[in-house]
């Protein structure tokens, strides 16, 4: 137990603006070089491999690569090679493996197998000396610094930004649109008192639903994981489209719903879902632009003006990290020491 509950998680959340600036100032040139080298090999398809929080970062990369570059992407099933011994033909396929520690044995084994099968392999980690970096042909260091809290926070946003810069590098862009993110992130994190007030809605929640569409969907999945691993509230993450296909029946005026509404095509696609939720009397909280928050029961207004839709996930997750922290504290628990859990792999 930490001396002050949540001390480690809180400090690592607060580090994120500095981490984003470090990536833009120090990491971006290396990321551009890696992207240029891989672009020259003209991969025909992309596979993404990850676990846990990194899996949500990989899903974000899937949206980026398919929308921004038109590259078809898929998420791997690692057991096909590690448990079943499958030998797929991966010539001209780019495999991106995202892992904060770079030490997960199944990720290392499956990446090594993919490289032998002809894949172009890229590891995205927080540890340049990791086994995953060693087995991969290319490596991107997300430069987040040591992360000690069980709930990953700064390594998630660092992974998102690194993957964004990589995707932009593949298309010959320098990713300059991301330059304002550190300052915006600092402004969002300075509004913790708003989140503390919002957290009072969830102190006694028995479950919650988190939904989004498009670029916001990885945010919904990551927010649900943060809520479950810190406060133990069962949090179910659904694409807005999937929510309408059955799970909507469990939504009532007791169980809260958090909608992550990106300002752009994803938010537009989510609008019918928001309308249905309001029609059911749901306790709807919106993380997104002001007009969407004003139409909900409550929410948190994001500074989306001038921020492209593909960059908004780096801001969307910040109030939700704080929410997981504040709900856990309000419930008398310590997010730094969740019961029966331990960090799977240390990141450095």
Q: Which CATH number fits the domain that encloses residue 14?
A: 3.40.50.10490
Mean pLDDT of the chain: 92
Residue 239 pLDDT exceeds 80: yes
What pLDDT, on the 0 to 100 scale, is given for residue 326? 96
pLDDT at site 252: 64
Per the domain annotation, does 229 fall within a domain? yes
What integer is the mean pLDDT of 278-292? Answer: 91
23/170 same-domain check: yes
Q: Residue range 155-177: average pLDDT? A: 97
For residues 319-347, average pLDDT: 81
Domain residues for the domain of 50 are: 7-178
Q: Which of residues 121, 144, 178 is at a domain's end?
A: 178
What does the pLDDT read at residue 1? 44
pLDDT at residue 344, as a whole number: 54
Q: What percent of the chain has pLDDT over 70?
A: 94
Q: Provide the pLDDT for residue 250.
A: 65
Q: What confidence category does residue 254 fall into, taking pLDDT thresholds of 50, 70 and 90?
A: low
Tens-place pLDDT, residues 196-214: 999 988 888 888 899 999 9
Is the confidence at residue 347, as pLDDT, over 60?
no
Q: Return the pLDDT at 267.
A: 96
Residues 133 and 81 in one domain: yes
Average pLDDT over residues 93-122: 95
Pair (148, 271) in one structural domain? no
User: Based on the domain organization, do 289 and 212 belong to the same domain?
Assistant: yes
Query: Global pTM?
Result: 0.94
Query: Strand 283-288's sheet: what is its strand order?
Result: 235-239, 208-212, 256-260, 283-288, 298-301
For the chain, percent of residues with pLDDT exceeding 90: 80
Q: Is the pLDDT at 348 greater than 80, yes or no?
A: no
- pLDDT recorded at residue 88: 85
What is the 3-class SS of the chain, one letter each residue?
CCCCCCHHHHHHHHCHHHHHHHHHHHHHHHHHHHHHHHHCCCCCEEEEEECHHHHHHHHHHHHHHHHHCCCCEEECCCHHHHCCCCCCCCCCEEEEEEECCCCCHHHHHHHHHHHHCCCEEEEEECCCCCHHHHHCCEEEECCCCCECCCCCCHHHHHHHHHHHHHHHHHCCCCCHHHCCHHHHHHHHHCCHHHHHHHHCCCCCCCCEEEEECHHHHHHHHHHHHHHHHHHCCCEEEEEHHHHHCCHHHHCCCCCEEEEECCCCHHHHHHHHHHHHHHHCCCEEEEEECHHHHHCCCEEEECCCCCCCHHHCHHHHHHHHHHHHHHHHHHCCCCCCCCCCCCCCCCEC
How many structural domains are present in the chain? Answer: 2
In a domain, 120, yes or no: yes
Query: CB 308: neighbour CB atoms within 10 A?
Result: 13
Residues 77, 201, single domain; the answer is no
Residue 345 pLDDT greater than 60, yes or no:
no
24 domain-assigned? yes
Burial 35-59 (b: 16+ CB within 10 A, else e): beebeeeebeebbbbbbbbbbbbbb
What's the pLDDT tens digit per position in 14-56?
999 999 999 999 999 999 999 999 999 999 999 999 999 999 9
End-to-end alpha carbon distance in the chain: 21
21 and 129 housed in the same domain: yes
Q: Give the end of a domain, one of 112, 145, 178.
A: 178
Residue 231 lies in a domain: yes
- Give the strand pairing for 73-75 and 235-239: unpaired
Catalytic hit among 154, 221, 290, 343: 343
Together in a domain, 29 and 152:
yes
Structure tokens at 137: 């042909």
Q: Is the pLDDT of residue 159 over 50?
A: yes
Band of pLDDT at residue 83, cut at 50, 70 and 90? confident
110: left (phi over 0), alpha (psi -120 to 50) or beta: alpha
Same domain, 146 and 169: yes
Q: Indicate whether 154 and 18 sit together in one domain.
A: yes
Residues 158 and 291 both lie in one domain:
no
Question: What is the mean predicted confidence (pLDDT) over 130-135?
Answer: 97
pLDDT value for 235 = 93
- Whether 146 is in a domain gets the answer yes
Domain presence at residue 348:
no
Supply the pLDDT for residue 279. Answer: 83
Same domain, 116 and 253: no
Asked if 226 is an active-site residue, the reply is no
Q: Are residues 211 and 111 in the same domain?
A: no
Last residue of a domain, one of 151, 178, 205: 178
Structure confidence at residue 342 (pLDDT): 53
Evaluate if residue 176 carries a pLDDT over 80: yes
Round to whole Å and give the CA distance between 10 and 230: 12
The predicted pLDDT at position 23 comes to: 98
Has residue 137 been placed in a domain?
Answer: yes
> Does the structure show a pLDDT above 70 at 116?
yes
**Nearest alpha carbon to residue 179 among 5, 343, 21:** 21
Q: What is the pLDDT of residue 202?
A: 86
Domain-embedded: residue 184: no
Dist CA 237 CA 164 (whole Å): 23
Give buried/exposed letters for 87-117 (b at 16+ CB in 10 A, else e).
eeebeebbbbbbbbbbbbeebbbbbbbbbeb
Q: Are strands 93-99 and 73-75 parallel, antiparallel or unpaired?
A: unpaired
């Amino acid at each position: 137990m930490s001396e002050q509950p949540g001390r480690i998680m809180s400090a690592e959340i607060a580090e994120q603006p500095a981490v984003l600036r470090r990536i833009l100032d120090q990491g971006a040139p290396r990321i551009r070089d890696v992207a240029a080298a891989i672009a020259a090999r003209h991969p025909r398809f992309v596979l993404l491999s990850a676990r846990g929080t990194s899996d949500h970062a990989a899903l974000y990369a899937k949206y980026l690569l398919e929308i921004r570059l038109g590259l078809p992407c898929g998420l791997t099933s690692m057991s096909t090679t590690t448990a079943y011994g499958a030998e797929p033909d991966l010539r001209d396929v780019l495999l991106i493996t995202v892992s904060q520690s770079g030490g997960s044995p199944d990720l290392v084994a499956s990446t090594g197998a993919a490289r032998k099968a002809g894949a172009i392999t890229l590891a995205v980690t927080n540890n340049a000396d990791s086994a995953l970096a060693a087995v991969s042909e290319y490596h991107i260091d997300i430069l987040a610094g040591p992360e000690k809290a069980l709930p990953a926070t700064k390594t998630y946003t660092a992974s998102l930004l690194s993957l964004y810069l990589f995707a932009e590098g593949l298309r010959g862009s320098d990713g300059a649109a991301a330059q304002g993110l550190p300052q915006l992130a600092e402004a969002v994190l300075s509004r913790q008192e708003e989140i503390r007030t919002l957290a009072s809605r969830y102190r006694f929640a028995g479950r919650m639903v988190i939904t989004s569409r498009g670029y916001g969907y990885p945010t919904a999945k990551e927010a649900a994981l943060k809520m479950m691993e810190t406060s133990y509230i069962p949090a179910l993450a659904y694409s807005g489209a999937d929510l309408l296909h059955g799970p909507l029946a469990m939504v009532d005026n007791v169980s809260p719903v958090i909608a992550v509404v990106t300002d752009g095509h994803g938010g537009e696609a989510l609008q019918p879902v928001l309308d249905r939720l309001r029609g059911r009397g749901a306790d709807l909280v919106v993380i997104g632009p002001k007009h969407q928050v004003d139409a909900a029961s409550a929410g948190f207004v994001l500074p989306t003006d001038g921020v492209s839709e593909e960059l908004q996930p780096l801001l969307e997750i910040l109030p939700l990290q704080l929410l997981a922290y504040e709900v856990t504290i309000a419930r008398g628990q310590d997010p730094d020491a969740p019961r029966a859990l331990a960090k799977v792999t240390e990141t450095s």
